[in-house]
Structure 1
């Protein structure tokens, strides 16, 4: 699989993560608050009180990168992909750090960390092939004419 194929797959995974969770939070904030990722674990409910506005805004914040991710699936141009990846990191990196500093339960810590850090690792990892693709498409610099 070439670089553009890798970027397409990575963007597809990011759009699934972002849009899946984002739609749930935006359209069913109470169900999301009490049942993410499952009703038995209810991670979000560990940070009360319930706030419909805040949960919907969280979902909508995740959804805002959906259109850009879809553009990147169709045309994985380095500038678009880099914008998507940086946007993902701007949200998920501080979010992950916050939760590392505020661990509430430890019985499912592995699943919490996978949930929090998968988008960070995926986005950061995809920056390298994105930058390489951008560099490969730049015209080579020519030496100044002698004169």
Structure 2
């Protein structure tokens, strides 16, 4: 693949990674913000219950976190549309900090869920971190192959 083809492919992969993250965050945020008790009782769905075993229901806390995650999702959507280097890097750092702290919290509370749910939960929580690192690697590769300050790859 020539340099131009690789840049086009990398740009598409960056956008796809950011869109996947934005979609995941939006679904969770909307559920938390508009249906907080359902989120607490039913997340992640399909008969599994990953939130309610971790403590009492607090509508204020669930809706506040839903609003915060909606803000993260808005930043991810914006980064996916614009693919501007600095914005993308800031949004990736924001998402990595949030997703890593969430992962670590649940890692410290594995005992609260049955083993299969703990395993599934940790695997699910790792997905955003992996996607962030994947997109970050693409941005860094673009930095070394002719990107300008404004755009991710030229």
What TM-score does the superposition give when structure 2 sets the normalisation length? 0.83
Larger deviation, residues 15-24 vs 78-87: 78-87
Q: CA-to-partner distance for each residue in 1:52-81, whole Å, 9 max, x for gaps?
A: 011011111111022222222222121111
Are 2:34 and 1:24 equivalent residues in the alignment?
A: no
Map 1:44-55 → 2, pairs under 5 A: 44-55=51-62
1:68 alignment partner in structure 2: 75
Shift of 1:138: 4.3
Instruction: Show structure 2 runs of 5+ residues with no match.
Output: 1-7, 150-154
2:109 alignment partner in structure 1: 102
Compute the RMSD of aligned alpha carbons: 1.7
Report the 3-state secondary structure (helix = DSSP H, G, I; strand = E; otherwise coil) of the residue aligned with 1:91: helix
What TM-score does the superposition give when structure 1 sets the normalisation length? 0.87
Instruction: Show structure 1 runs of 5+ residues with no match.
Output: 140-147
Q: CA-to-partner distance for each residue in 1:93-139, whole Å, 9 max, x for gaps?
A: 01101111110221223321222110011112211111222343248
Report the 3-state secondary structure (helix = DSSP H, G, I; strand = E; otherwise coil) of the residue aligned with 1:49: coil
Larger deviation, residues 102-111 vs 53-62: 102-111
| Structure with the higher helix share, 1 or 2 | 2
Q: Is the 8 A contact 1:14 1:119 kept in 2?
A: yes
* Structure 2 Cα separation of the partners of residues 21 and 41 of structure 1: 15
Question: What stretches of structure 1 move > 4 A for 4+ residues in a row?
Answer: none
Number of paired residues? 139
Change (3 A) 1:34 1:17: same
Bigger CA radius of gyration: 1
Shift of 1:31: 0.4
Are 2:137 and 1:128 equivalent residues in the alignment?
A: yes
